[in-house]
Chains A and B, each alone.
Chain A
């Protein structure tokens, strides 16, 4: 590698050619503050917070956008730099809603953090903010333009990663805003509610719609039995909210803390992930055997469902009819479990903890209720909201002792856990489909080809002479490519797993703020670790699932399953 000699704050170091000053400074232990920079995104260099002095340059240089050169002499903390940074932050604050103490991102805000770190005590400039309406039209995300610092991270995420471009810059000069075309409300746009914008937003301009109060009310209502389910991806990310290493598995603490909050039953969405594998696996076999529409597409990711319904409604027959694990769970809770514990569905309050904002939208779909009013899942909380509830209740997540899920929906297999990572649903399905079709025991359970952060992955499996070709896709820009292939009849796959968010659910829009690929990899590794640690690693070997079939569902794709576990999709082209 071509190494260059540079000097940062009088310290001489060698760094690789192509390194930005921002990253070179990290190597000598200097964190240069920045707002618009994001390690996974194209350099924007518009916030101008990360400016530094480069010897010989006429002006200060944005360290995110400037590559080191041989012999470069850089100073990151001169009076000139400190003054410029301070003025830039003060300028941002002077066009910002300064309700920091009551802000949703109080203590989690990049602007607030830098202002505190560089010693801004007031903005010497007059506040010029013209208050705009907060867009609360979406059931999943909230857009507060009064907080926006116009860094453009959300735009890049929406446009480059998700391929949607719902948000963009509007206007120029002091009138520049980031908003949907024509200032439309989010729910009138073709937004899929994935919430990826909220994950990269450094301030509180885009956040999840907060539903915490409803849950507190239910918990404190003596007439309600409050049941909670936790998605696979939450257990590998919640710890980050409490200062733990990314990728720390906190399943037991998660269960204990939910119990501490006062939930009556703590169940695991992994259980219905296993159930999904049974139903979806049989649906795939049926399509393969009976000449059904292929490739079959997975249906667990509600952002992805929003995408296909709005952008490719003609391809809806490819979608598996299986509800997502969250909604299977909700349906079982209200349509089976309630009766089992002698309650009416109205007395049950069903909560799910999800890494996802689109799940909030999914839960409010009309077909996901008994009667259009009593929803199978009453409230969806994101990982971030659960962390907030725990802080509100003073639960010391680091201290709390691990506990176990409740029966009967607390038992799950490793196959259910890996639903949280891209390729996980496919791997789980292959483990089951192989054994169901061949009757043989699968020796190596790890399908490494389907794992990892590569955008589009492919694999083949030999089912007793029939070669089944599968594909795995995460993020919607990649999904779009696959959809185009299907449209052109060029996708010779039998089964495709599609996840809306980069990295799958572990990279969901409801996960802790500030997600990066580096973090996603750590969460993914944790997911596979959790899988390995479980005694049961195949969905069809989950005894609780088998018992449910025996006692209630009778058979996969049967009449009860059809009623409770499968759904229909709607052409919502916009």
Chain B
């Protein structure tokens, strides 16, 4: 993989080159050409192309998009729904906001193609409530797409009809979790539930539902235009395409970057982010956002590659990279992360609801200098229970940052233990 280009502008190619409020500018930049091509194909052909591309979901779980689409197509039940998850609430992530604000039609085109391929008539874009600007831009874009005949009845005289509605969240982080998101659209409180069944067979109103992240949908028109085969050549064999990276923290040039998958985290930090200000050293980097793992400086050569990262029990999630230099107080960071999850837990299941309260108490014991070896053992058992027994990804992932710190920076905890017996 020596030919990995760090910067590769596919999804961001039109950023700032077009006026996001103008559908005509989008069209003049090759926009909606993939939709026109798609309408001449069958759903199976499109899905096969996407399967060939080896595209994986960009929301964090990296599930193969084509397989998901196939499951929805084959699922029994009607009507079926398609949902674009734009409830970007993971701290450290801002890629979906840029995608919506800078090139809204790219998303819409992707959604329409996926809906057409899986024979779906109703779509929703679930946008984080705080993203007022993005909501307005997406509203306007949808209206323009309707006027041009890309949405609504009999799209481009193909006989296929489809429309998209915008649903805005009320700011709860857990609503980015697909089940909590779905029940919110149904008008219920945003709480997660158990799975299976997965949304592909029983989602919105218990009907088959295709739910994808904003960035995932953005890839679709490009796959159609260049062909799945060509797309699969970008990136690595297990992680194809590009990835939007939300780079933040102690970094000289924070911001949004599109990189070819396979790029190393160190290259992103040094070559795109221009390194750390004030000649400081990197203490650790959190990947994916608050729910993601924390790694030390000596692991930064790891590449954005699902397979390679999985070997170390890591993942790049939704693509946030938060850089922390050697001034930070590790326990303080962990407490802040834990407080965030404590605040955002829906409170439905015991390990998450009660576990986060107890995690905070135990972390406090370390910062207060009263922790014992038993406290450390209990903290580890508690976090393992949360990983293993929580009902949804929130509770399962909430302790990951702390667990990774214990794996790579154990002394941060053991140095603070005041006695070996309780």
Pick from A45, A88, A150, A172: contact of B385, CB below 8 A. Answer: A88
A51 contacts partner chain B, Cβ-Cβ < 8 Å: yes
By a CB distance below 8 angstroms, the chain A residues around B374 are 124
By a CB distance below 8 angstroms, the chain A residues around B385 are 83-84, 87-88
Measured between C-beta atoms, what is the minimum distance from A211 to chain B in Å?
Answer: 34
A175 contacts partner chain B, Cβ-Cβ < 8 Å: yes
Q: Is the CB of B396 within 8 A of A125?
A: no
Q: Is the CB of A173 within 8 A of B347?
A: yes
Measured between C-beta atoms, what is the minimum distance from B112 to chain A in Å?
Answer: 34
A65-B194, A126-B358, A169-B189 are known contacts. Are A88 and B351 too (CB-CB below 8 A)?
yes
Q: Is the CB of A173 within 8 A of B349?
A: no
> Could you tell me which residues of chain B, from 376 to 422, have a CB within 8 Å of some CB in chain A?
378, 381-382, 384-385, 387-391, 396
By a CB distance below 8 angstroms, the chain B residues around A149 are 350
Q: Is the CB of B344 within 8 A of A173?
A: yes
Number of interface residues of A (CB under 8 A): 35
Q: Is the CB of A125 within 8 A of B388?
A: no
Q: Is the CB of A126 within 8 A of B361?
A: yes
Q: Is the CB of A87 within 8 A of B382?
A: yes
Q: Is the CB of B361 within 8 A of A174?
A: no
Measured between C-beta atoms, what is the minimum distance from A53 to chain B in Å?
Answer: 9
By a CB distance below 8 angstroms, the chain B residues around A62 are 194, 391
Q: Is the CB of B389 within 8 A of A43?
A: no
A260 contacts partner chain B, Cβ-Cβ < 8 Å: no
A394 contacts partner chain B, Cβ-Cβ < 8 Å: no
Stretch touching chain B among A90-98, A197-205, A475-483: A90-98
Q: Is the CB of A176 within 8 A of B194?
A: no
| Interface residues on chain B, size class | 35 or more
Alpha-carbon distance A394/B91, docked complex (angstroms)? 62
A60 contacts partner chain B, Cβ-Cβ < 8 Å: yes
Q: Is the CB of A47 within 8 A of B354?
A: no
Q: Is the CB of A128 within 8 A of B389?
A: no
Alpha-carbon distance A62/B388, docked complex (angstroms)? 10
A92-B354, A173-B353 are known contacts. Are A59 and B343 too (CB-CB below 8 A)?
no
A43-B194, A91-B358, A173-B346 are known contacts. Are A83 and B351 too (CB-CB below 8 A)?
no
By a CB distance below 8 angstroms, the chain B residues around A59 are 387-390, 396
Pick from A46, A128, A176: contact of B391, CB below 8 A. Answer: A46
B213 contacts partner chain A, Cβ-Cβ < 8 Å: no
A87-B381, A125-B378, A128-B361 are known contacts. Are A173 and B342 too (CB-CB below 8 A)?
yes
Q: Is the CB of A172 within 8 A of B345?
A: yes
A48-B390, A83-B384, A172-B345 are known contacts. Are A91 and B194 too (CB-CB below 8 A)?
no
Measured between C-beta atoms, what is the minimum distance from B296 to chain A in Å?
Answer: 25
Find the B residue at minimum CB distance from A173. Answer: B345
Measured between C-beta atoms, what is the minimum distance from B314 to chain A in Å?
Answer: 15
Alpha-carbon distance A46/B395, docked complex (angstroms)? 12
Most chain A CB inside 10 Å of its own CB: which residue of B347, B356, B378, B387:
B347
A342 contacts partner chain B, Cβ-Cβ < 8 Å: no
Q: Is the CB of A47 within 8 A of B350?
A: yes
A46-B391, A174-B347, A175-B347 are known contacts. Are A91 and B354 too (CB-CB below 8 A)?
yes
Interface of A is mostly: loop
Q: Mark A147-182, 1 if CB is under 8 A from B, else 0.
A: 001100000000000000000010111111000000
B29 contacts partner chain A, Cβ-Cβ < 8 Å: no
B357 contacts partner chain A, Cβ-Cβ < 8 Å: yes
Q: Is the CB of A176 within 8 A of B378?
A: no
By a CB distance below 8 angstroms, the chain B residues around A47 are 349-350
Find the B residue at minimum CB distance from A95. Answer: B354
Q: Is the CB of B389 within 8 A of A174?
A: no
Q: Is the CB of B348 within 8 A of A176?
A: yes
Measured between C-beta atoms, what is the minimum distance from B49 to chain A in Å?
Answer: 30
Alpha-carbon distance A174/B344, docked complex (angstroms)? 9
A59-B396, A172-B172 are known contacts. Are A48 and B350 too (CB-CB below 8 A)?
yes
Q: Is the CB of B358 within 8 A of A94?
A: yes
Alpha-carbon distance A49/B351, docked complex (angstroms)? 10
Measured between C-beta atoms, what is the minimum distance from A122 to chain B in Å?
Answer: 12
By a CB distance below 8 angstroms, the chain B residues around A176 are 346-348, 353
By a CB distance below 8 angstroms, the chain A residues around B381 are 83, 87
Q: Is the CB of B346 within 8 A of A172?
A: yes
Q: Mark A58-101, 1 if CB is under 8 A from B, else 0.
A: 01101001110000000000001001100110011011000000
B193 contacts partner chain A, Cβ-Cβ < 8 Å: yes
Find the B residue at minimum CB distance from A177. Answer: B347
A84-B385, A87-B381 are known contacts. Are A174 and B350 too (CB-CB below 8 A)?
no
Alpha-carbon distance A172/B395, docked complex (angstroms)? 13
By a CB distance below 8 angstroms, the chain A residues around B172 are 172
By a CB distance below 8 angstroms, the chain A residues around B396 are 59
Alpha-carbon distance A40/B8, docked complex (angstroms)? 56
By a CB distance below 8 angstroms, the chain A residues around B389 are 48, 51, 59-60, 84, 87-88
Chain A to chain B: the 6 pairs with minimum beta-carbon distance, closest first: A176-B347, A91-B354, A87-B385, A173-B345, A45-B194, A65-B194
- Contacts A60-B388, A92-B350, A176-B347 given; 8 further ones with Cβ under 8 A? A45-B193, A45-B194, A51-B388, A83-B385, A124-B378, A169-B347, A173-B353, A176-B353
Q: Which A residues contact B (CB, under 8 angstroms)?
A: 43, 45-49, 51, 59-60, 62, 65-67, 80, 83-84, 87-88, 91-92, 94-95, 124-126, 128, 149-150, 169, 171-176
**21 sample A-B contacts, Cβ–Cβ < 8 Å, listed by A number:** A46-B348, A59-B390, A66-B194, A83-B385, A84-B384, A87-B355, A87-B381, A91-B350, A94-B354, A95-B354, A126-B361, A150-B347, A150-B348, A169-B348, A171-B347, A173-B345, A174-B347, A174-B353, A174-B356, A174-B357, A176-B353
